[in-house]
Amino acid sequence: MSETVQWNTVTIDGNVGGNSGTPNLVTVRRVTVMPLSDVAIRKAKPGAKPVKLTDGRGLYLLLRPDGGRWWRLDYRRPITGKRNTLSLGTYPEVGLADARGRRDDARKQLAAGIDPGEHRKAEKAVGRDQAANSFEVVSREWLAVRKPGWTDKNFDKEQGRLEKHAFPYIGGTPVVSLGVSDIRPLIERLSKAGRLEQAHRLRFQLSRIFKFAVATERADRDPAADLSEVLPSRRDMVKQRYPTITDPERVGDLLRAIDGFSGTFPVACALKLAPMWFCRPGEIRMAEWTHFDLEGPSPTYRVPPANRKLRKKEKEHPDTPPHVIPLAKQAVVILLELQKFTGRDRYLFPGARDAKRHMSDGAINAALARIGFKEEMVGHGFRHMASTRLREMGWPREVVEAQLSHKVGGTEGVYNMAEYLPKRREMMQAWADYLENLKSNSNQ
């Protein structure tokens, strides 16, 4: 607080210095106390020691030797009456008006018997607790708990869904404070975009996270469960299928286009083998030469459990068998030619940029688009093609399903352990012959 000093001469009647009845002229020091101003603060220079620039009601600006300007409030603690100092920020980040406002708020707390210093500590503790229990923190804990039971691919999908559709909107919110109104927009956003399956998966995932939060005593309930009726039932949804071709004439067009593919030789071989094997695309691009037996009367590709579509515990279990793909003679011819080019590598179809890695998951689809079948056929579509045509050709359902590596449900799936391998080998050769005939426009 600044002072304005004025020296005034005033007349005082009375006995001064022993002379009665004579007027006396006396000079007095009049001090006017002025509050701080921004100008005064800016003009203040630091000294060798800290200087207090007082404003009033306990507020002052501490001017430090290093030039720092810190707002401080001195007050007496309720009940004990002990002196305490509260920091109110630094100047100019906290201006004079803001500092006075913070001082007034603190004095209101004092008037109510609240120690503003202790109140601030409590607020910080609550903030730390909320941050530690935010939706994102709890979700990542849940992901870590579930990760041992998932494959890396499944984990990436679960984590990616949250990072894209949940964390940007509710990630920093304490999980205990989230309700239906907070999470319904996340579900409806996907639903309105036509991504109903993703909307169902996100709702189910959120529900599991909230149940985890309840179990770890950081939430009281699962609001995602209340949204189970917001979305159309999965039973009412039109199941999306991969683009595929089942018309024999069009299949022949596709096979001829594949023969005319002008890309790299490994990709060309992958394209030719995909319709003959009709296995999952990953089982093609991750195929290694050690998985093949090209000698003898029964050439075979044994897909290891690690490359199959299985749960993680099944992939890692030593008793899980490989999926056997009998190789038709046409497939063996292609493989023997490919072996001359990539036989020294680990993978049949090495990556274009790094031979130590397998072909990318988009290579076959890109090649199909390149030969003119974009949006009409994808790598996974060869499975639908084969399933449809083989059943129409009269091959038994169980043999086709076994070759597709599908699990059969119900009692049949539990007790039917037969692999139908001899019949499957016969079928795979007949299928390769059928494709060859389609390509040459005969016996369609």
Find where tokens 């707002």 sit: 71
Which residue is catalytic, options 218, 308, 383, 384? 383
Annotated catalytic, 380? yes
302's CB contacts (< 8 A; 6+ apart) are 291, 292, 293, 322, 323, 324, 325
Give the Cα separation of 175 and 183 in Å (integer).
11
CB burial of 98-137 (b: ≥16 within 10 Å; e: otherwise) equals ebbebbeebbebbeeeebbbeeeeeeeeeeeebeebbbbb
Q: In whole angstroms, what is the distance from residue 400 CA to residue 388 CA?
A: 10
The full DSSP string for 178-247 is --HHHHHHHHHHHHHTT-HHHHHHHHHHHHHHHHHHHHTTS-S--GGGGGTTTSPPGGGSPPP-------
- Under 8 Å between Cβ of 136 and 213: no
- Distance in angstroms (rounded) separating the CA atoms of residues 252 and 67: 84
Active site residue 57: no
Our answer to whether residue 301 is catalytic in this structure is: no
Residue 309 annotated as catalytic: yes
Helix/strand number for the chain, H first, E second: 18, 9
Contact 201, 158 (CB under 8 A): no
Residue of 195, 370, 406, 423 marked catalytic: 406
d(CA 301, CA 326): 6
Q: What are 273's two structure tokens?
A: 């083998």
**Is 83 marked active-site?**
no
User: Among residues 123, 121, 137, 214, which one has the least CA distance to residue 174?
Assistant: 137
- Of 203, 380, 389, 424, the catalytic one is 380
Verify whether residue 415 is a known catalytic residue. Answer: yes
Question: Do 115 and 77 contact (CB within 8 A), yes or no?
Answer: yes
- From the candidates 280, 285, 323, 358, which is the catalytic residue? 280
The residues facing 324 across adjacent strands are 302
Cα separation of 234 and 197, whole Å? 8
- Sheet architecture: strand order including 59-63: 51-56, 59-63, 69-76, 83-90
| Contact (Cβ atoms closer than 8 angstroms) between residue 150 and residue 314 | no
Q: Which DSSP letter does residue 286 get?
A: T
Which of 57, 309, 312, 423 is flagged as catalytic?
309
> Catalytic amino acids?
280, 309, 380, 383, 406, 415
